[in-house]
Structure 1
Amino acid sequence: MKEDPAAPTPVILGIDDLRPLPRATRIARTSGEGIQLLQEHRDSFIDELWLDHDLGGDDSIMPVVTLMEEAAFNGRPFQIGTIFVHSANPIGAETVVRSLTRWNYQVRRAIA
């Protein structure tokens, strides 16, 4: 079976300070870069979004989560197929899952 050359490439975004995330089409390494990356894709569909909780030093994914929560609160959530939360910090990962699930984002815990 041949692949359809006209089929769009899936948009897979990752926000992680260390992991290579080989399936990702773009990766942000800080929460600030992650916010910018999401804003660049504001009006398009994101097939997958991979989130790590701890982003090095005092940085975490929580500013990105807040942006996504505010978008949903304002009636304009980001269009994302599935959000995968991967983190060595189980409490932080669970916080992200609960926060985004509350706003009807499709969220799953994953191993990256």
Structure 2
Amino acid sequence: MNEAPASPTRVILGIDDLRPLPRATRIARTSHEGIRLLEEHRNCVIDELWLDHDLGGDDTIMPVVTLLEEAAFNGQPFRIGAVLVHSANPIGAETVVRSLTRWNYRVRRAMAPYSGDGS
């Protein structure tokens, strides 16, 4: 009896302060946690990276965006299948999309599950 090889586990990372992101295999709630999460996956293929712009208080996704931009600038971009930007902040979301698109990441706006609080 031949069994089909197990399909590799998809790596779906989310950085969002409130939403549950049920598809995500790991979630970071702050930009600092998000940077650590990406660094832990530096040598992996990340199938999807979900990003929220506003992360509570004065925290935003921009330090994470800077990390991704610097990696690309240095010729070693993160290997990400798709970056999905979900945010109730349209200007912030568009800033993330433009910034990462400029560095050839595959990025688009997306709808994330509703958190129940309007964020």
**The two structures share one fold, judged by TM-score above 0.5:** yes
User: 1: CA distance between counterparts of 2:18 and 2:49?
Assistant: 16
What is the identity percentage for the equivalent residue pairs of Structure 1 and Structure 2? 83
User: 1: CA distance between counterparts of 2:64 and 2:83?
Assistant: 12
User: 2: CA distance between counterparts of 1:77 and 1:49?
Assistant: 14
Partner in structure 2 of residue 34 of structure 1: 34
User: 2: CA distance between counterparts of 1:64 and 1:32?
Assistant: 8
Query: SS at the partner of 1:94?
Result: helix
What are the residue-to-residue correspondences of 1:88-107 with 2, within 5 Å? 88-107=88-107
Partner in structure 1 of residue 85 of structure 2: 85
Partner in structure 2 of residue 109 of structure 1: 109
Q: Which amino acid aligns with 1:24?
A: A
User: 2: CA distance between counterparts of 1:12 and 1:68?
Assistant: 16
Query: SS at the partner of 1:13?
Result: strand
Structure 1: runs of 5+ lacking an equivalent:
none
1:48 aligns with 2:32: no
- RMSD over equivalenced CA pairs, Å: 1.1
Give the count of matched residue pairs.
Answer: 110
TM-score (norm 2): 0.90
Partner in structure 2 of residue 60 of structure 1: 60
TM-score (norm 1): 0.96
User: 2: CA distance between counterparts of 1:43 and 1:8?
Assistant: 15
User: 1: CA distance between counterparts of 2:72 and 2:31?
Assistant: 19
